[in-house]
Amino acid sequence: MEPVTAELIERIDACIEALFAPSDPVLARNIADAQAAGLPSFQVSPNQGRLLYLLAKLIGARRVLEIGTLGGYSATWLARALPADGLLVTLELNPRHAEVARRSLERAAITPRLDLRVGPAADSLRDLIRSAVPPFDLVFLDADKSGYVEYLGLVLELVRPGALILADNVIRHGLVIDPSPGDPNDAGAKAYNEAIASDPRLESLILPIVRARVDGLATSMVR
């Protein structure tokens, strides 16, 4: 048996991608435009995009909330899982990122309604709570990890029973195992994992996301 190496894992990931998440013109253009605009390439992998898409379909999601839009790559995958009368709300702090994402999602002619809100996610979440929007079926957290615990508290006011709350990058190459991580994002992810593990309103597990580095997708179902 081959030893588990980063190189082997990359080859396996590429093999799965070729089978289940091959690129297409819309996804390729999304990545190219984000790169051309100088955005960091923090987007989910194609396989993880496919996972988000499948999970959204699995629960029959109609209303999805994303926190951390970047160039709209994960938003494209999520939007594709929604019915034509569905809604994707996506929150982004950086106006430049939001601008690139808006252009990209408009060009992709995404059919569900798109509501892209620019500003600190916590403010946008409070606005959504204040305006008493109908509950969301699925939430994808992928902004600053230091804010995850705060976002969780707010998100729990915006979801229906049975909703799925997903949070990206919660393992951080294993740095969350440290008893007290120095980096605020590592500490934030660690605190988030502990919060979902003990919150009586949730049933959770972390799905490992193994690529060149090890990470994880926190997966919680609202009781």
* Residues of the shown chain interacting with ligand SAH in the complex, contacts defined by CB under 6 A: 42-44, 68, 70, 73-74, 91-94, 97, 120-121, 142-144, 147
> What residue 215 binds from ligand SAH, Mg ion, none (CB within 5 to 8 A, per partner kind)?
none
> What residue 144 binds from Mg ion, ligand SAH, none (CB within 5 to 8 A, per partner kind)?
ligand SAH
In terms of CB distance, is 13 or 168 closer to Mg ion? 168
Q: How many CB atoms lie within 10 A of CB 178?
A: 13
- Least Å from the CB of residue 11 to ligand SAH: 23
Length of the chain: 223
Quick one: which of 168, 189, 206, 217 contacts Mg ion (CB under 5 A)? Answer: 168
66 binds Mg ion per the rule CB under 5 A? no
Which residues on adjacent β-strands are paired with residue 218?
Answer: 167, 206
- Mention every residue, 6+ apart, whose C-beta is less than 8 A from residue 205: 218, 219
Q: Are 13 and 48 in contact (CB under 8 A)?
A: no
**Number of helices and strands (H, E) in the chain?**
8, 7
- Least Å from the CB of residue 97 to ligand SAH: 4
> What residue 169 binds from Mg ion, ligand SAH, none (CB within 5 to 8 A, per partner kind)?
Mg ion
In terms of CB distance, is 57 or 223 closer to ligand SAH? 57
At 118, which helix (H) or strand (E)? strand 113-118
x/- site string to Mg ion, residues 85 to 124, per CB under 5 A?
Answer: ----------------------------------------
In terms of CB distance, is 86 or 147 closer to ligand SAH? 147
Q: How many CB atoms lie within 10 A of CB 87?
A: 20
169 binds Mg ion per the rule CB under 5 A? yes
- Least Å from the CB of residue 144 to Mg ion: 11
> What residue 93 binds from ligand SAH, Mg ion, none (CB within 5 to 8 A, per partner kind)?
ligand SAH
Q: How many CB atoms lie within 10 A of CB 55?
A: 19
- How far apart, in whole angstroms, are the C-alpha atoms of residue 117 and residue 90? 6
In terms of CB distance, is 31 or 203 closer to ligand SAH? 31
Both tokens assigned to 84: 């034509």
Nearest to 88 by CA among 108, 96, 146: 108
- Dihedral over alpha carbons 210, 90, 177, 180 (to 10 degrees): 160
Binding site for Mg ion (CB under 5 A): 142, 168-169
